[in-house]
């Protein structure tokens, strides 16, 4: 995709995601800053922030768990190189602890694909598996949403016993729900 294609897709995804009732009424959203060829998230982060939503962004810890910090606009991000892996954009301010995600009304999860059951395929580092387990242990039930390209919604992805389905996937073509909006 060209840079123009990526910007257009990012705007389409933001528009569709902002129409979700789960995001429309959310006071806190845990999200992420897209990297590489992932569907762009900055337009959505900025729109949520402009609405007055508290946006939490992850900071990768050495053990692949995630700490969280508040998003205060694009200037509040720092580019962080994690060893031989790709650089990530993380919140530059105060760290709120791994448990901060349990305060979220909705969690936007990165992924490589989602299948017809709502099972998400991640990058294999286990960071978001830990987030989902933390939410479950805390009895927190935020809406779980993945942002993907249309071609990344597939028939089936591999799933482990600890994997949990997401509630919805947002693509440029629309929203596909796996569980009704609560």
- The response to whether 33 counts as a known ligand-binding position is yes
- The response to whether 120 counts as a known ligand-binding position is yes
pLDDT band with cut points at 50, 70 and 90 for residue 130: very high
Dist CA 115 CA 92 (whole Å): 34
- The response to whether 38 counts as a known ligand-binding position is yes
- The response to whether 54 counts as a known ligand-binding position is no
108 contact partners, CB below 8 Å, separation of at least 6? 17, 29, 30, 31, 32, 41, 44, 145, 146, 147
Q: Note the pLDDT of residue 182.
A: 65
User: At residue 84, does pLDDT exceed 90?
Assistant: no
Average confidence (pLDDT) over 2-22: 85
- The response to whether 125 counts as a known ligand-binding position is yes
Neighbours of 132 (CB within 10 A): 18
Average per-residue pLDDT for the chain = 91
Average confidence (pLDDT) over 42-49: 95
- The response to whether 124 counts as a known ligand-binding position is yes
Q: Write out the E strands in the chain.
A: 28-30, 54-60, 66-70, 77-81, 87-91, 106-109, 113-115, 120-121, 143-147, 153-154, 168-171, 174-177
Asked if residues 67 and 59 have their Cβ atoms less than 8 Å apart, the reply is yes
- Classify domain 3-177 by CATH number: 3.40.50.10420
pLDDT band with cut points at 50, 70 and 90 for residue 19: very high
Query: Residue 39 class from Cβ within 10 Å (0-12 exposed, 13-18 middle, 19+ buried)?
Result: buried
> Considering the entire predicted model, what is its pTM?
0.93
- The response to whether 128 counts as a known ligand-binding position is yes
Residue with tokens 């830990």: 130
**Stronger pLDDT, 16 or 3, i.e. the higher one:** 16
- The domain ranges of the chain are 3-177
């Amino acid at each position: 995709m060209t840079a123009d294609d990526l910007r257009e897709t990012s705007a389409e995804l933001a528009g569709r995601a902002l129409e979700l009732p789960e995001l429309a009424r959310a006071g806190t959203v845990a999200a992420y800053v897209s990297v590489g060829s992932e569907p762009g998230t900055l337009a959505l982060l900025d729109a949520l922030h402009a609405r007055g939503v508290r946006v939490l962004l992850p900071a990768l810890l050495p053990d692949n768990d995630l700490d969280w910090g508040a998003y205060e606009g694009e200037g509040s991000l720092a580019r962080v190189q994690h060893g031989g892996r790709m650089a990530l954009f993380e919140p530059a301010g105060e760290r709120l602890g791994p448990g901060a995600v349990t305060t979220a009304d909705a969690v936007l999860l990165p992924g490589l694909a989602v299948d017809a059951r709502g099972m998400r395929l991640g990058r294999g580092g286990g960071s978001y598996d830990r987030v989902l387990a933390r939410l479950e242990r805390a009895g927190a039930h935020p809406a779980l949403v993945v942002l993907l390209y249309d071609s990344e919604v597939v028939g089936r992805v591999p799933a482990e016993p600890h994997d949990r389905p997401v509630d919805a996937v947002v693509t440029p073509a629309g929203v596909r729900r796996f569980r009704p909006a609560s």
